[in-house]
Amino acid sequence: MNSSQTQPSSRLRVLIVGGVAAGASAAARARRLSEGAHITIIERGPDVSFANCGLPYHIGGEIADRSRLALHTPESLAELLNVEVRTRTEAVAIDARGRTLALRNLDTGAEETLSYDKLVLAPGAAPLRPPLPGIDNPAIHTLRSLQDMDRIKAAAASARSVLIVGGGFIGLEMVEQLRHLEKQVTLVETNDQVLPQVDAEIAGPIASTLRTHDVELVLGDAAESFAPGKSPAGDAVVTRLKSGREITADMVILSIGVKPENALASAAGLELGARGAIKVNQWMQTSDPDIYAAGDVVEGADRIFGGAMHLALGGPANRQGRVIADHIFLGPEKAHPYPGHIGTAIVRVFDMAAGVTGWTEKRLRQAGTAFESTIVTDHQHAGYYPGATPLTIKLLWSPADGRLLGAQAFGADGVDKRLDVLATALAGRMSIDELAQLELAYAPPFGSARDVVNTAAFTAQNQRDGLVKIVPKITADRHLIDVRPQAVASIDPLPDSTNIPFSDLRSRLGELDAGKKYAVTCSLGKTSYFAARILMQHGFDVVSVAGGLKMSRPVESEKTQPQPATAAPVSKDGSLPEDARIVESLDCTGMSCPGPLLQLKSRMETLASGAELHVTASDPGFAHDVRAFCRSANHELLGVSSGKGIISARIRKTAGASISAPATSSPQATARRKGATVVVFSGEMDKVMASLVIANGAAALGGKVTMFFTFWGLNALRRERPVQVPGKKSLLDRMFSWMLPRGLSRLPLSKMNFGGAGRAMMKHQMATKNLPNLAGLLGSAKMSGVRFVACTMSMEAMGIQPEELIDGVEFGGVADYLDSAELSGTNLFA
């Protein structure tokens, strides 16, 4: 025991400031260890024990009964533990020398002082609410307590639109739940990706999932101020972003992080960490040995490298409370110290889940720590067993000894199981060699004989042993070889690549130049590894693209396109209506790309004309592939939907359809085409205006319109105000930014510009005669559903980053343009 303890533990006076996870856990364990101790819990709010991690799910209706979140009332907790519970009571000041705590009753204002032998601080952390103009608007919410939850739930009942600021774990949970309530949701995140706690390869599929569920993402931007406004639902909040954009929403939810509730500890002179959290040792003692702290308010140790770490999670808080009680009542001889944080967290985003344990690549780079990484995708259980879906794992390890440093996972099923395995491996300081030989539970419904965790470790071993060099993305310095089957590559071609199917690679080695550098890619990365091994052993300088096209060129999950009037409706959960006339079905779940596409092509060749096929697949790219397949083969796509990682499609075979058939053989194409594809090459005001006039007209006739902006035409899409972009631009890239016009208002006329005077005259003429202006035409085109596609090759050549373009722009290449041109039947060039 500590020298300051002057009486037997059975009569100790223990004061606990804060309930919920850490405080309630300390109290419960303390009572189990000592029936005689006097234990008092002091809680500033009205609730002493509630499930704060469940708050978003009551707002969205998944947890219907509010009372299930209140784990204990003050009365039930007092009765269960035989403790004194004081709610609506604030701890005002600590007298460490006299070992007393001053309290104030928030209802009556009465003050008193209690003596303690041991004091436990567990006040938690408060949501960040930065001092921005207008931040006190009552329609701007944060979520910490049951009362916060009630206010948000009540406000959401009448709201139509919600802006969520912050795309971390809580922000994503709120996005999901508010979309369940059918609210229009916009998510603003300061970083250039959602869920900044993971690396970009994992964040990309999360963003795709969000967009699939009609969530508008605004990345690389931040709230600057708030002001009252109006919306169709009534009073609203206008949020101005640093980029200058304004977003009007009926309510705003801030989810930008938390700060430790350290005021009491700071005033008492307890030592704080760099970020304001209370410093503690392995027994959770503060700089005063009679004062302990736990939960979101403390700075613990990083279990992997040993440095300081602040982690606001419920699991560690519960375990820390137990450590405190054990140290007080059992002493260091029998108590078990808190070993530090690993940082394991998971979030569900609609049908998918993503999580992290240990260190990420971003953190390792910032710390200057050497590491290696790999990323693999495999099925969560045996591919031949129904319902197999892809699961992606990223591993990071030390090149010195192979020790695992961190891991991340994403998928529809099995993410939690793999994260738990990897967190255990981190706790055990296991290496990739030990991970490769880990024996995990296997039966076809649960896993594979070689689990995806083993596969990831095998891949890491291959990299370490020099059997393959893996790069994170496709780079311009290497000639790209696409080893997917020809049937797949022809439907979804990869620009600037040579398609040599893996099965033909050995017989076509003579087509390759031994003096060139090559990169090989496939759909998921496995076949490209096999191809790289062949090429390396034949003397070629070759690398394999990590994760294949799934990771280097993530497929954006497409929303269901408008269906023909005869098409049966498709339900949101991925099932098809019972009365849908399905003649045959094809189960491609468990197959990796290109398996589903090849199976579909084969089945459609034997299907009778007019018959319908119901296809299910778990490959995430199948939603894109099936659309491209039907366009190429002129089959009628009746519907596409997804749920729980399974994509369902209904296709009707049309007479005479084939991959090589001309586009006009489609039944839909017999009618007059109304769409258009416009290549905007010019950056001149009058030519851009003419393009927008034509695009608006084509859209008004009900056509599908794509505007493809390339080279100088990209200037029409540039933001008029400079924005911060990730990384550092080269001198030439910066020169392009300085020399070229920024945005619509600065475009010159093709004739009579006269240094801008002619442009001003033209604008005056159009305003005087009530003619549409460029900004109005652009806005109308957006409202009409016109696609704005920026040529990525031209962007690279001119040093333009995606963040520099206006919102709503898509990014594509020649394949996108050619596909759009084939669909529209009308192609114009300006």
386 φ, ψ (degrees, to nearest 5):
-55, 140
Separation CA 8–CA 512 (nearest Å): 83
Residue closest to 159 by CA, chosen among 134, 136, 139 = 139
Report how far apart, in Å, the C-alpha atoms of 647 and of each of 169, 224, 248, 621, 623 are. 26, 40, 34, 9, 7
Contact 403, 424 (CB under 8 A): no
Say if residue 132 is exposed, middle or buried (CB neighbours under 10 Å; 0-12, 13-18, 19+).
middle
CATH number, domain 140-256, options 3.40.190.290, 3.50.50.60, 1.10.150.120, 1.10.287.370: 3.50.50.60
Contact 550, 621 (CB under 8 A): yes
Task: Give start and end residues of each alpha helix (H) in 137-221.
Answer: 146-158, 169-180, 200-212
Task: Give start and end residues of each alpha helix (H) in 6-100.
Answer: 20-33, 55-59, 74-81
Q: What is the DSSP letter of 554?
A: P
301: Cα separation from own chain's centroid: 27
Residues 6 or more apart whose CB falls under 8 angstroms from that of 433 comprise 402, 457, 461
Report how far apart, in Å, the C-alpha atoms of 611 and of each of 622, 656, 745 are. 21, 13, 53
Following DSSP, what letter does each residue of 667-699 receive, concatenated? GGGGSPP--EEEEE----HHHHHHHHHHHHHHH
Residue closest to 139 by CA, chosen among 128, 120, 154, 124 = 154
Report the CATH architecture of 676-829: 3-Layer(aba) Sandwich (3.40)
Contact 32, 150 (CB under 8 A): no
Strand-pair partners of 411: 353, 391
Rounded to 10°, the helix 452-464/415-427 angle is 50
Core vs surface per residue 107-131: b (16+ CB within 10 A) or e? eeeeeeebebbbbbbbbbbebeeee
Report the CATH architecture of 470-552: 3-Layer(aba) Sandwich (3.40)
Helix and strand totals (H; E) in the chain: 23, 40
Q: What is the DSSP letter of 805?
A: B
Residues 6 or more apart whose CB falls under 8 angstroms from that of 423 comprise 342, 344, 357, 358
Separation CA 552–CA 619 (nearest Å): 16
Return the residue matching tokens 């076509």: 508
Alpha-carbon dihedral 124, 126, 128, 129, rounded to 10 degrees: -170
Separation CA 607–CA 582 (nearest Å): 12
Dihedral sign from CA coordinates of 423, 428, 433, 439: negative
Separation CA 465–CA 469 (nearest Å): 10
Give the helix, strand, coil percentages of the chain, each rounded to 5.
35, 25, 40
Q: Model pTM?
A: 0.71
Strand-pair partners of 393: 376, 409
Which structure tokens are listed for 657? Answer: 């359809």
Strand-pair partners of 805: 718
pLDDT of residue 578: 41
Say yes or no: do domains 9-126+260-329 and 351-464 share a fold: yes
Contact 340, 301 (CB under 8 A): yes
119 φ, ψ (degrees, to nearest 5):
-120, 130
Which structure tokens are listed for 152? Answer: 């948000």
- The count of residues in the chain is 830
The CATH homologous superfamily for domain 351-464 is FAD/NAD(P)-binding domain (3.50.50.60)
| Other beta carbons less than 10 A from residue 75's beta carbon | 10
Rounded to 10°, the helix 814-824/622-633 angle is 50
pLDDT of residue 603: 86
Return the residue matching tokens 């067993």: 385
Query: Could you check whether the bond before residue 232 is cis, i.e. omega within 30 degrees of 0?
Result: no
Separation CA 619–CA 647 (nearest Å): 8
pLDDT of residue 407: 98
Contact 314, 265 (CB under 8 A): no
Which residue ranges in the chain fall short of pLDDT 70?
Answer: 1-10, 552-582, 592-594, 656-674, 700-702, 727, 767-771, 825
Residues 6 or more apart whose CB falls under 8 angstroms from that of 131 comprise none
Residues 6 or more apart whose CB falls under 8 angstroms from that of 29 comprise 321, 322, 324, 325, 326
Separation CA 188–CA 413 (nearest Å): 27
pLDDT of residue 590: 79
Contact 27, 16 (CB under 8 A): yes
Q: Is 579 helix (H, G, I), strand (E, B) or coil?
A: coil
Strand-pair partners of 770: none
Q: Is 710 helix (H, G, I), strand (E, B) or coil?
A: coil
pLDDT tens column, 257-288:
999 999 999 999 999 999 999 999 999 999 99
Residue closest to 328 by CA, chosen among 270, 284, 265 = 284
Separation CA 544–CA 529 (nearest Å): 6
pLDDT tens column, 69-88:
887 888 888 888 999 999 99
Separation CA 46–CA 253 (nearest Å): 23
Fold annotation for 584-670: Translation Initiation Factor IF3 (3.30.110)
Task: Give start and end residues of each alpha helix (H) in 346-442.
Answer: 361-367, 415-427, 432-436
Report how far apart, in Å, the C-alpha atoms of 275 and of each of 31, 287, 650, 810 are. 33, 16, 54, 39
Report how far apart, in Å, the C-alpha atoms of 406 and of each of 146, 167, 679 are. 34, 21, 46
Residues 6 or more apart whose CB falls under 8 angstroms from that of 666 comprise 634, 636, 654, 657
CATH number, domain 9-126+260-329, options 2.40.420.20, 2.60.40.10, 3.50.50.60, 3.40.190.10: 3.50.50.60
804 φ, ψ (degrees, to nearest 5):
-85, -5
Contacts of 818-823 with CB under 8 Å at 24 or more apart are 819/628, 819/631, 820/677, 820/704, 820/706, 820/708, 820/787, 820/789, 821/677, 821/706, 822/631, 822/663, 823/631, 823/663, 823/675, 823/677, 823/704
Q: Where are the domains of the chain?
A: 9-126+260-329, 140-256, 351-464, 470-552, 584-670, 676-829
Question: What's the alpha-carbon Rg for the chain, to the nearest Å?
Answer: 30
Say if residue 299 is exposed, middle or buried (CB neighbours under 10 Å; 0-12, 13-18, 19+).
buried
784: Cα separation from own chain's centroid: 29
Separation CA 270–CA 286 (nearest Å): 7
| Other beta carbons less than 10 A from residue 522's beta carbon | 29
